[in-house]
A and B are shown apart, each in its own frame.
Chain A
Amino acid sequence: MEAVLRMPRQFAIRLRTSPLLLSLALAPMLVILVMVVALVWISFQTGVVGTPKATYTLKNYTDILGDPFVLKVVWNTLIFTLATTFTALALGLPIAWLTERTTLPGKGLVYTIMTLGLLIPGIYTAMGWTFIAHVRIGFLNRWLMDVFALEQGPINIATPVGMGLVQGLNLTALAFILTAQMFRAMNPSLEEAAKIHGMSFVGTVRRITLPLAFPAILAAMIYMLTIGLATFDVPAIIGLGNRIYMLSTYVYLKANPPDSGLPQHGVTAALGTVMILLALLLTWWYSQVLRQGHRYEVVTGKGYRPALLDLGRWSVLAWGLIALYFLATKLIPLLLIAYAAFTPYLAPPSWEMLGKLSLAGFYNLNWDLFWRGLYNTVLLVITVPLITLLLAFSISWLIVRSRSRMRYVLEFGAFLPHALPEVIMAIGALLLALFVLPKFIPLYGSVWLIAIVYVISRLAFATRALNSSLLQIHKELEEAAYTAGLSPVRTSWRILVPLLRPTLMSVWIWSAILVYRELTVAVFLISQESVTLPAVIWSYWFSGAINEAAAVTLLMTVVLTPLILVFWWFGRRQLMPES
């Protein structure tokens, strides 16, 4: 039909920043905003919170500030977070340096190990280390008690320091990737200049390398602190059963009190608000440090190769460190979980125990629960990455391509989920579903509530990955399609999607893996109906059925392995610097 489109001017302008696209991009930000507002709103209420009958008060805040137990929890969290950060950097930084700046052989293998480190869920390490070093059941403790005739196990993993060590092992891969980038980008001519002007190796490291590396190391440190502050899975697996609480697990306890007590949602919300403030503060600091770091960035050409330090025989030692990391973090925990899955009761591995191995743990499983968990998990793994990609694509396109002023809002909005730890989003979603939404949308107890939180919490990463890929696609490739008569939707499908395919694939599979193994949000939001596989593990573990928990974990790994292989196939070229 021959139609000259005649429309109001404003509409014509808006058409070019498509309203559909914009609403897709803004929807998740709106959800975050509503979640945070609900959280803060309820934190000032007592009585029947979330209803008109609630009284507005500061009592929740004075309660938590005046409670010595809360102080203890904060102290625990602090110790835990510092131990986490220290362990992760103490392992990750040297390995990064060895890989990027020395003649260490087998660098590809280091990257493989570290990517595996990112992919294998943290709860595996936590469970494995409980088997190793729990004060009563830990195999290492039992062995030490036998050898030295001790009354009690000498090592206790269920302490803030112990848990920090385990979480630190989990985050080592992340610390490695954050700092390896920095070592790679560092301009070698700065160090060479120092050498030529007569400085010794040690002097160069002390006066040039470290000061240059400092902003990146500090940034990595703050990043670890932010994650550590809100870590839920490791403190939950190791600490909850032993009554050692962190902020995250304490919040969980307030929202899901044991012994059929009443949930204290006001206090939960107040704790959540405090955590938001802490997280925002750390994120702000992080961005400041990053900005500082950019000053040191020296533009490097393509063909340079940093001068590598000849390790010689020391490379054996270096590989020893890496192997130790891999054994301690991944391999031994995984083997112990497999072992525990086949044992009738928990005892250190021995010849005698080998004879007792059986499939009993699997027979005892509540298979109905397992299948429901698997069904929900598969549902999430299929839907969440797709929705994430769709939203992230809309946001990225608007940020990178449009000249609309909305893009600044979008950039900030896409960053928000990055600043808010998953625990907080879980609480926010919980309160939202309990007190705000029920009248409109009954989401509480539904798997879709979990899906929404998953999508939002993966969005920051997906958007960032797509932003950088989209920036590399020349704008004119798209414009050529428009002028050649292709509609925007066809242009996206025929030009952008094929060109972005490597990034889309790796973001997709990466989100799928993270969704598959996610515990924190699931634990806060599950119901009988919406239980996920990691939550099944958690509920067995929490109720003391450790062998069953190990059995489910093993089954879960069977499904996880092909997913990781797929990731390998598509995404190994782009390492994902986020857990």
Chain B
Amino acid sequence: MPWLLRPCRFPKRRCIGGSLVLSSANAVGAMISIRKLCKAFSVTEGQIAALKSLDLDVAEGEFFVIVGASGSGKTTLLRCVAGLESPDSGEIRIAGRAVYSDNPPTWIAPQERNFGMVFQSYAVWPHLTVFENVALPLREGAQKIPRTEVSSRVREALRMVQLDEQKDRSATLLSGGQQQRVALARAIAVNPRVLLMDEPLSNLDARLREEVRGKIRDLAKQLGATVLYVTHDQIEAMAMADKIAIMSFGRLLQYGDPMELYRRPNCSEVADFFGSVNWLDGRLAGAKIVETKIGKLEVCLRGDLGGPEVLVGFRPECLQIVDGSNACRQNAFGAVLRSSTFLGDQFVYEAFVNDLLVTGKSRLIPVCEDRRLQLYVDPAEIMVFPHSESKDRILMGTASLKKGLE
């Protein structure tokens, strides 16, 4: 137990020598620090840039989730950090020490980086038992663990994932969830500086996934490990992350804490990724007023929009059904209900506002006389983006994001 709860820093021996100076010179408290990282793959049709000059900092002890559609480069980024891919240029530092750099050329092989990694396929070695799977890295890995210590460390790691009773079973006889836990135990047993996880939950069924994601987060926090976690599932990201970075086509679109990304996305792509949005074309008509097809909306503007043409969006759950007496209120508009679906915890409904279809979510039953509704949006909930991101482009972007998800 004590070895597991030790804060994950460099093993002691690493702190004597030149690297200590290096890390203090670079002291920003970042465990993982990535600068201008580029990576392209050559395919038969030419080159595909998977990472385009990417910068990222992950603080020590942080649970950092990278989300993005498939093809966005998130797995490539993770594999570059792990050392399973070699970047084309840029720099990756772990606790201030370069593991990859183009100048001066530096490369530390994956087996010398002292990471733990959980793979999408779990990569549980099928010819070994549960115990042996966890023990092999300790016995034959780069860290020279005393033989006498191996068995107690394996048992400790298995206990933490509640697999100590299964330790002598063959790994292939385990269920998906159990294999996933073996992979996790193997990753934490080496007492890694950084835990890397590549969509570890994507092969579990939905119910189990919800259960496990809480456990993984708890475990990581208990160990004080820095975690870099890749997923395409925005719910998973929001549920687990201290910080989320969203990637698209090899670039980082935005990073911050989950609420920030959900409520204050810096572009329509991010907004779309974290949930559905009703998008409208609009035109600035005053300091806080945008004219749209559904009427004049009061908004809270942040930053420069580059011109009067803007894109306005609000999430379905921000639509409030209000009674008709508030008809003259700002940001309220009449709508004609088209359809509504009962989902148990809420209704999802579609309504026409001046020929424009909007989607709303409500806990109230959206029924009324003549199918007429009065809807209201809080100005603080309305997102406004420059129109240079035209609706078409966003739709295309969304389509490709969504396509990637399927």
* Chain A contact residues, CB within 8 Å of chain B: 2, 4-9, 12-13, 15-16, 403, 474, 476-477, 479-488, 490, 494-495, 498-499
Contacting residue for B141 out of A6, A7, A486, CB 8 A: A486
Q: Complex: how many Å from CA A481 to CA B135? A: 12
Interface hit among B111-119, B208-216, B240-248: B111-119
| Residues on B with beta carbons closer than 8 Å to the beta carbon of A12 | 86, 105, 107
Residues of B with C-beta under 8 A to A9: 102, 105
30 A-B pairs with CB atoms under 8 Å apart are A2-B16, A4-B98, A5-B107, A6-B106, A12-B86, A12-B105, A16-B86, A474-B121, A476-B121, A477-B125, A479-B117, A480-B117, A480-B119, A480-B125, A480-B186, A481-B136, A481-B137, A482-B84, A482-B109, A482-B111, A483-B82, A483-B83, A483-B84, A484-B141, A484-B190, A485-B111, A485-B114, A485-B190, A486-B136, A487-B142
| Chain A minimum-CB-distance residue to B16 | A2
Inter-chain contact A2/B137, CB cutoff 8 Å: no
- Contact check, A484 vs B186: say whether CB atoms are below 8 A apart: yes
Having A476-B120, A479-B84, A485-B143, one finds 4 other A-B pairs with CB under 8 Å, namely A2-B14, A476-B121, A483-B110, A486-B142
Closest to A495 in B: B125
| Cα separation A412 to B17 with both chains bound (whole Å) | 49
Interface residues of B in 118-138 (CB under 8 A from A): 119-123, 125-127, 136-137
Most B Cβ at <10 Å: residue of A16, A480, A486: A480
Q: How many A-B residue pairs have CB under 8 A?
A: 106
> Smallest CB–CB gap between B82 and chain A, Å?
5
By the criterion CB–CB under 8 Å, are B140 and A5 in contact?
A: no
- A484, A487, A494, A498 — most chain B CB neighbours (10 Å): A484
Q: Tell whether, in the assembled complex, residue A486 and residue B84 are in contact, meaning their CB atoms are under 8 Å apart.
A: no
**With A2-B14, A2-B19, A4-B98 in contact, is A485–B137 under 8 Å at CB?**
yes
- Chain B residue numbers with a CB within 8 Å of A4 are 19, 97-98, 106, 108
Does B106 contact A486, Cβ atoms closer than 8 Å? Answer: no
| B86 in contact with A483 (CB, 8 Å) | no
How far is the CB of B239 from the nearest CB of chain A, in Å?
25
| Nearest Cβ on chain B to A348's Cβ, whole angstroms | 56
Residue of A nearest to B105 (CB): A9
B123 and A485 contacting across the interface, CB-CB below 8 Å: no
- Give B129 Cβ to nearest chain A Cβ, in Å: 13
- B16 A482 Cβ-Cβ under 8 A: no
- Once the chains bind, are A485 and B14 in contact (CB under 8 Å)? no
- A interface footprint on B297-327 (CB within 8 Å = 1, 0 otherwise): 0000000000000000000000000000000
In the docked arrangement, what's the CA distance between A484 and B104, Å? Answer: 26
B13 at the interface (CB under 8 A from A): yes
B196 within 8 A of partner (CB): yes
How far is A85 from B111 in the complex, measured between Cα atoms in Å? 54
**With a CB–CB cut-off of 8 A, which chain A residues contact B17?**
2
Q: A476 vs B126: C-alpha distance in the bound complex, in angstroms?
A: 12
Residue in A2, A5, A16, A477 whose CB lies within 8 Å of B123: A477
Complex: A482 Cα to B115 Cα, angstroms: 10
Decide: A485 near B119, CB < 8 A? Known: A5-B107, A12-B105, A495-B125: no
| B192 smallest CB distance to A (angstroms) | 9
Quick check: B82 and A5 within 8 Å, CB to CB?
no
Chain A nearest CB from B373 CB (Å) reads: 50
Q: Which residues of B contact A480 (CB under 8 A)?
A: 117, 119, 123, 125, 183, 186
A499–B128 Cα gap in the complex (Å)? 10
The 8 Å CB contact of A499, one of B84, B105, B126, is: B126
A477: B residues at CB distance < 8 A? 121, 123, 125-126
A483 to B13, CA, bound (A): 20
CA distance A226 to B292 in the complex (A): 76
Report the separation of the CA atoms of residues A8 and B119 in the bound assembly, to the nearest whole angstrom: 31
| B106–A476 touching, CB < 8 Å | no
Residues of A within 8 Å of B109, CB to CB, are 5, 482
Name the CB-closest residue of B to A480.
B123
Bound form: Cα–Cα A576–B174 in Å: 33
Closest 3 CB pairs of A and B: A485-B141, A484-B137, A480-B123
Whether the Cβ atoms of A484 and B86 lie closer than 8 Å is: no
CB closest chain-A residue, reference B126: A499
| Cross-chain contact A7 with B119 (CB below 8 angstroms) | no
- Per the bound structure, the CA–CA distance linking A499 and B124 in Å amounts to 12
**Chain B, residue nearest A11 (CB):** B105
Q: Which of B80-108 contact A (CB under 8 A)?
A: 82-84, 86, 97-98, 102, 104-108
B102 contacts A483, C-beta separation under 8 Å: no
Complex: how many Å from CA A471 to CA B100? 29
Neighbouring A residues of B97 by C-beta, 8 Å: 4
Please give, as numbers and ranges, the residues of chain A lying within 8 Å of B104 by CB-CB distance. Answer: 6
The smallest beta-carbon distance between A170 and chain B, in angstroms, is 38
The complex places the Cα of A481 from the Cα of B115 at a distance, in Å, of: 11
Contact B86 A13 (CB under 8 A): yes
> What is the minimal beta-carbon distance from A575 to any residue of chain B, in angstroms?
24
Of chain B, the residue at the smallest CB distance from A8 is B105
Cα A482 to Cα B196 in complex, Å, equals 13
Q: How far is the CA of A9 from the CA of B116 in the complex (A)?
A: 26
CA distance A6 to B119 in the complex (A): 29
B119 and A476 contact, CB distance less than 8 A: yes
> B115 CB to closest chain A CB, in angstroms?
5
A488 to B104, CA, bound (A): 25
Which B residues, 1 to 56, have Cβ-Cβ distances below 8 Å to chain A? 13-14, 16-19, 41
Measured in the bound complex, the distance between the Cα atoms of B104 and A430 in whole Å is 52
Q: Which residues of A contact B122 (CB under 8 A)?
A: 476
The answer on a CB contact under 8 Å between B140 and A494 is yes
User: What separation, in Å, do the CA atoms of A62 and B18 have in the docked complex?
Assistant: 75
Least distance between B285 CB and chain A CB atoms (Å): 55
A498 to B113 CA separation, bound complex (whole angstroms)? 25
User: Max chain A CB contacts within 10 Å: which of B14, B107, B122?
Assistant: B107
Give Cα distance in the complex from A484 to B183, angstroms: 11
Q: How far is the CA of A498 from the CA of B83 in the complex (A)?
A: 24
Which residue among A2, A9, A483 has the maximum number of chain B CB atoms within 10 Å of its CB? A483
